[in-house]
Amino acid sequence: MKFRSSLLRHSVITLLLVLLFLTACGAPTPDVGRDNPQDRPVTAGMAPVESIEILILESFPVQVHVLVRGNLPDSCTDIDQINQRSGLENNAFWVEITTVRPTDKACTKAPVPFEETISLGVYGLPAGTYTVDVNGVSGTFTLDVDNVLPEGAANDAPEGALSVPELLQNPVYDTEVKVYGQVSLLGELFCPCFELTSGGKKVMIWYGLMVEDDGTERPAVSVEGIRNGDRVIVTGELKTAGVHGSLNDLWASKIENAE
């Protein structure tokens, strides 16, 4: 009887040890020492620019864009920031395009082409010839006349529509408004969006991929017949920052030509 009781006790202990061993083996291993991509060191650099093309849009006040082309050194390198500054005393613009890549990541050394369109801040500039330098590659453009609206032209606003400065001075969010201005960068950005400019200020207009934080998607708006340089009236809502949008983006519900 004692032998049977002892055997049973040993069997129970053995079974408990086996279960404890199996549980320990199946438990998830803590992430001690595991590589976190956000903690990886990165290397900053300058984008290798090969050429620039300066585009003057057919509008007044004129808008000037710089089309930049080059090749990144490998597939691990990305464009990081695009910074712009101007020296009006020198009639010059300097644009700096920086890059970033994971320092310890191995990548095939194969050039990756890139292309960026940069809008220069030229509203209000006097007539003259200006130099643009993008990472050491330079070009020039000429303004034949002062790039500012004639006195009184600013009052030639469509009835019931705001200029962009009026819209942004006292922003009202998620409420339908009308804003007017000139179209630029339509079809040149990697999004269903374009820039609208009036009074020397800009706002980004979205006409597609307008998704609320709860996943509700607004219907896309047609831009058929709208071209860069056109003067338009946009009806829509100014948005706060969200999951699918940035602060002061304007989501359009209607876009019409003002001329």
Give pLDDT, residue 137. 96
| pLDDT given at position 77 | 93
| pLDDT at residue 101 in the model | 92
Query: For residues 183 and 229, is the Cβ–Cβ distance under 8 A?
Result: yes
Write the DSSP symbol of residue 200.
Answer: T
Predicted confidence at residue 245, as pLDDT, reads: 82
pLDDT tens for residues 18-75?
555 555 555 444 444 444 555 678 899 999 999 999 999 877 778 889 999 999 999 9
Which fold, 153-257? OB fold (Dihydrolipoamide Acetyltransferase, E2P) (2.40.50)
Report, as ranges of residue numbers, the positions in the chain whose pLDDT lies below 70: 1-39, 149-156
Could you state, in order of their start, the residue ranges of all structural domains in the chain? Answer: 42-143, 153-257
Rounded Cα distance between 250 and 113, Å, is: 31
Q: How far apart are the first and last CA of the chain?
A: 106
